[in-house]
Amino acid sequence: MLTPALLMSGLLATIYALLFHLVWGDTMRQLVRLWLVAIIGFGMGQVVAMGMGWGFAMVGDVHVVEGTVGAWAALVVAKWQRL
């Protein structure tokens, strides 16, 4: 069962992957990879925020700012690594 926090995190990561692909993407295969990278990056941002005890701009249980930074950082690294 999807919790609201998991659903919102997945939705935000999907939007970030779509925006990134719209600007810098090429193929549909790359979109799928970018989507996975954004999901993982958003999750890493969440884990870091929870571990550090940060709570800036939370919506429910979702660390929006930290998750966003994690997703975009992962997307930039993936692009740099030509993933």
Residue-wise pLDDT for 14-25, tens only, equals 999 999 999 998
What is the token pair recorded at 26?
Answer: 């090429």
pTM of the model: 0.91
Give 35's pLDDT tier (boundaries 50, 70, 90).
very high
**Alpha-carbon separation of residue 1 from 5, 25, 83 (angstroms):** 12, 32, 31
What mean pLDDT is predicted for residues 42-50? 96
Residue among 48, 56, 61 at smallest CA distance from 7: 61
Which run of H or of E encompasses 62? strand 62-63
- Residue 76 one-letter amino acid: V
State the Cα–Cα distance between residues 7 and 61, nearest whole angstrom: 11
Length, in residues, of the chain: 83
Q: How confident is the model at residue 28 (pLDDT cuts 50, 70, 90)?
A: very high
